[in-house]
Each structure stands twice: as C-alpha cells, then as structure tokens.
Amino acid sequence: MGMSAGQARLLSVTARLTDNELRSQMLTNSKLRLADKSTAASEKYMNALNSEKLTFKSYNDDGSTTVSNLTPALLYTYQSLKNQYAIQNSSGQYLVSGTDAKNYEKSNSLYDFLNCYNLVDDTLYDEYEKEYDVYEDYLEEYQKYLEEYAIYLEELKAYQDSENQTDLYKIFSGAVGTSDIKDGPFPEEKSQQCYWSALQADDQNHCSCYSHVLGHILDYSAELDTCGNNGNGGMYETSAGYILTIGGNPGGYMDNSCNEEMAQVSDGLNEKDASGEYLRYCDGTDDYQGISGITNRLEKAKADYAAGLINETEFNLQVLLSDFIDNGDGTYSIKSLKQKAIDLRFVSDNWGPALTNGDTNSPSYLFTENMLSRETMIDMLINFTDGDMRKLTLGTPPDAPTPPVQVQEPEKPQYDIIVNDSAKAQWYINLWYMMNGSESANKVNSIVNDDGTTLYGVTNNDKNEKSASYKEIDPNLLSSSEWLQFALTNGLVTLSQATYYNPSSNGDKQPSLSSEGYTWTSIIYTNASDIVSQEDSVAVAKAEVEYQNSLRDIQNEDKKIDQDLKKLDTEHSALQTEYESIKSVIDKNVERSFKAFS
C-alpha cells in the first residue's frame, strides 16, 4: 500500500522539527561557549592587572632617579652613583657582555684592561713611571742575582761535599797500588796484581793489564761473572773522535776483593756538579819520560802536525795522551779524569806493545807505525796513577756572583697604575677581578704629590687565565628584560653585588683582605634596594584593549545567536501547528475508514 500525501507531509514536517531542535541546541551550546570566552578574557585581563616587572632604579648626578626595565646590559653599563651588580649562572660563571669579554681576552693585566676603556692616565704617570722603572730594574737585577747565587750555593756545596782529593787517591792506590810496587815482588794483594804486571818492563805480555784497572773505574759494576769479568761495558767517545767499546771488562788478577774501593773511585770519576760538568780533572802536567819540560803536549803536537813533522795518526795519539782538550779558539781546557781514563783505555787497547807482543803483524795491532815504546807506556800509566789520580783537581771553587750595584733596595712606588676617573676605574677594576677569578678587588686610592696635586692609583694585577670565571652572554639576551626576570625568578641565575669592604669594621666578614677594597657578595634579587617590582602598565594597557575587543566580539556574536534562536523558535511554532493540523486530518481519515469497514 502506498503512502498517502498526508503521511508524506507529516514526515517532512517531523524531519524539519527535528532539524530545528538540533540547530537550536547547537546555538545554545555556542552561547555557553561565549560565556567561557568571556571568562577567559576576564581572567587574562585580571592577570595583566596583577602583573609586575623588574625595574632598575638609578640615581642621576642631580639627585633625581631613573627607572628602567632590568636587563643584563643595564646591569653592566657604568653610571656614577650606581650600584654594581653581576649575574652568575648555575656553573658559577659570571655572565658578561661581549665587549667586556673581548677586552679581558686581549689584556694581559689590569693595566691593559683599564686602558681598553681609556681609564689609564699616562700624562700624569710619566714621573711616577720613571720612579717605578727604577724599582722594576732593581727587582729584575736582584732576582737575577738571587738565581745566580742559588746556583753558586749548589755548586759550592757540591764542591765542598765532594770526596777529599787525597782520600780518593788513597782509596785508589790502596786498591791497585802505586808505582813503587813495580820494583817489588809479585803482590799478595790480588787487587794490585794487574797494575804490578802492567809495570814490568821485561814482560811484554802484561802491558795491557792496566786496561783491567781502567775498565773497572769507567763505569764500575760490582757484579762478577764466573770468569771474573767486571764492569758494565758500553761505548765511549775519545777526545780524538775514536769510539771505545768495552764489552764487559776482563778482570785479570782483580776480583771482588776490592769491589767497594773500585765503586767509590768509579763514582768519584763520574760525579758532576750542579751544571752537569765533571768535578774531577787531570793535574794538567804532560811532563812524561822522554819529553821532559813540555807543559802541554797537545799544543806541541798541534804545532808539529801543522809543520808536517807528524802524521794524523800520531797527532791523534798525542791528543789521547795529553791532559788537555783543544777548544778550537786558541785556548785549551783540562780534561776530566773520566775522559782521560777513556782515552788511556783506548791507547792501551790499540797502541799498547803488549797487545802485539812485538809482532807487528798481529791482527789487533791497529797502528803499527805508531806503536808506543814500552817505556812510554809505563810512564803513561805511572803518570795517571801517581800523577793525575794523586794530584787530581776539583777545579777552582765557584765564584760568588756580584750583587746589584744598587745594594739598597729603593722604595717601591705606592701604585702601579694611575687612572683618570676613580669611580669609573673602580667599576672596571671590580669587573676585572671578578672575571679573573677573585671575589675581592683592590680599591682605587688617592696619591698626593709634593706639589699638592692628587693622583688616583691602584696596584696592577696580572691575568690568571687558569682561574678566569666568566662567560659571554648571548647577544640576543643582553637586552632582554623578560629573560632576565624569568631567569632570576626561576633561579637560573643568581645576583652578586660589589660591596665596599673595610677591614677595621668588616674583618669578620672577609678576613682574606688586609686593606680597603671591594668584595663580590651573593644577594637575593628581591633584597637589592635598586631592583624594584612594579605594575607593568604596558602589559595592562595591552590586556585592556584585548579584553574590550574580545568582549565586543562576544557580545556581537551573542546577539546574532539570540536572533537565530528567535527565528528558530518562530519557525518551530509554525511547524508544530502544521504538524498538529496534518496529524488531526490523518487521525479523522483513519477513524472514518474503520467505521466504513466495520
């Protein structure tokens, strides 16, 4: 059965009524949301009315005050009659401007730092500077004297503490014997048998036995192997440029019966003074058998070589035998006893007649045409033992340095730096010490000259980069009052103030200072007298405009919703009437149909 026209009309009206009710509900919800917007706008406005900002109050020269928004740049800008503050991050670093950071970095001292701000008055400093130059020259000269005197005392002590010359010879000769044993029988003392054998003129085979003695005293080692070998061995450079190699010194007749004595002698030859020079030297006498009367055989050999009387090998031999070393400038120095022992060991190993046993074809005979005579070899050994060792010298005692000409220390000038603006200079002096890692700073003081004029000076201070404690603040934050207020109120940074200190009245507060000065002291920003919280009039005015605009928009939108709701209400009444009319017609039609078919 199809739907009648009345029924279709009823369904249409019903749908429109439902839509009408939905639209009405949505408009009602929008009206409620407008109430929320109104509340939010009111709260924002009230917050602005209650808002405060941090300002800084500074005093002008005429006594008036200026109030400005608190920024890092404002804190670090110098003004007369202005308290000095600094901000510090959580790492303990002071935050400073880029200008101050760069000035510190390029300065080596407080003088340089103050000069970056044109605070050093060199025009008034000339006479004062001359006076201080005299003082600094004296200090430099006196410091040099003290350093030289300290070295002198070390050398003198080393000289005085070294073994007695006679005692060292006594120890040595007691171990190996003196030249007197050559005419006696074979020694019972084993430690003397090597020297005795080397001095026997009729025994070519034992001439090199003295090599055992020399080997023991070059670099002594108390360790003996099963064959009686002794010594550390090693390589040594001779005065003639040859290299002496000792691969463990053959002990010969010597054994551990004289270990202690040979160790003492070896230590004596190797002992050096504070400057690294050997302490013991040859006696400087080249008066050997066969060339009597020659004081310096090296000087004679040099002349003979220049004249073509001896060849290079013969000259080198004389270099090794001599007590002297050619300095190359026409002067000669006496050999150390250690060097002489090296040279004689090389001679004994390479020129000694005992090595060849008279056989010029022996493989170990290196310089056949220059072989030493038996007498010269013995004379050389006697000269070393009873000459150089007995008459060894420690050189002359060191000379004390000459003190400065000006023995009386001049009076130190009172200050190192003269400044042209004491108040501004104090500001940057405080800043310098803070950045240089110090919690206290020297005070600028007055200097009254003889003519009655007054200068203002302060003691200089050198940069201490290891203690520096600062960080350049981000340039974008330097002028930001919002950031500084947020950082202070939330504890991201803390505040410090440069405070005058007098030891007579503040001794218990800063005992490290012995004179007037300034100290950097932590302070809560709310306790700073010139940092003030006040109503933010700009924020209030801005919030008021925003509130009025928001309120006007809300009212306009509310009126429009009311109009829309009124229209919907009218439409709803019309639809409801139509609905009732159609429903009534349908109900009557149904009733008639039931009567007709009943």
What is the SS3 string spanning 95-117? EECHHHHHHHHCCCEHHHHHHHC
Residue 420 has pLDDT above 50, yes or no: yes
Nearest to 313 by CA among 350, 353, 361: 350
Q: Considering the chain, what is the average pLDDT of its residues?
A: 75
What's the Rg (C-alpha) of the chain?
Answer: 54
pLDDT band at 195 (very low <50, low <70, confident <90, very high): confident
pLDDT band at 110 (very low <50, low <70, confident <90, very high): very high
Sort 436 into a burial class: Cβ within 10 Å, 0-12 / 13-18 / 19+: buried
Q: Which two tokens stand for residue 557?
A: 């939108």
pLDDT of residue 183: 83
What percentage of the chain has pLDDT greater than the value 70? 64
pLDDT of residue 106: 93
pLDDT of residue 363: 36
pLDDT of residue 497: 92
pLDDT band at 490 (very low <50, low <70, confident <90, very high): confident
Which of 112-121, 344-353, 543-552 is predicted with the least confidence, judged by mean pLDDT? Answer: 543-552
pLDDT band at 170 (very low <50, low <70, confident <90, very high): confident
Rounded to whole angstroms, how far apart are CA atoms 297 and 316? Answer: 12
Residue 336 has pLDDT above 60, yes or no: yes
Question: 491 or 396: whose pLDDT is higher?
Answer: 491
Residue 25 has a CB neighbour count (10 Å cut-off) of 11
**Residue 105 CB contacts under 8 Å (≥ 6 apart), including other chains:** none
Rounded to whole angstroms, how far apart are CA atoms 17 and 1? Answer: 27
Is residue 143 within 8 A of residue 135, CB to CB? The reply is no
CA angle 179, 206, 282 (to 5 degrees): 45
Beta pairing, strands 65-69 & 445-448: unpaired
Residue 354 has pLDDT above 60, yes or no: no
Q: Which two tokens stand for residue 285?
A: 């006498």
pLDDT of residue 85: 94
Which of 351-360, 397-406, 533-542, 589-598 is predicted with the least confidence, judged by mean pLDDT? Answer: 351-360
In this prediction, residues 156-167 reach a mean pLDDT of 59
Question: 351 or 126: whose pLDDT is higher?
Answer: 351
Over the stretch 265-295, which tens digit does the pLDDT of each residue have? 888 888 887 678 887 888 887 766 545 566 7
Q: What is the pTM (predicted TM-score) of this model?
A: 0.41
pLDDT of residue 362: 41
Question: 13 or 432: whose pLDDT is higher?
Answer: 432
Question: 438 or 58: whose pLDDT is higher?
Answer: 438
Question: 239 or 505: whose pLDDT is higher?
Answer: 239
Rounded to whole angstroms, how far apart are CA atoms 44 and 41? Answer: 5
**Residue 463 CB contacts under 8 Å (≥ 6 apart), including other chains:** 104, 107, 108, 109, 436
Which of 207-216, 535-544, 586-595 is predicted with the least confidence, judged by mean pLDDT? Answer: 535-544
Tokens 């350049």 found at: 472
Widest distance between CA atoms in the chain: 180
Domain parsing of the chain, residue ranges? 5-51+537-596, 78-120+420-475+486-531, 163-388
Question: 50 or 567: whose pLDDT is higher?
Answer: 567
CA dihedral 161, 167, 168, 173 (to 10 degrees): 180
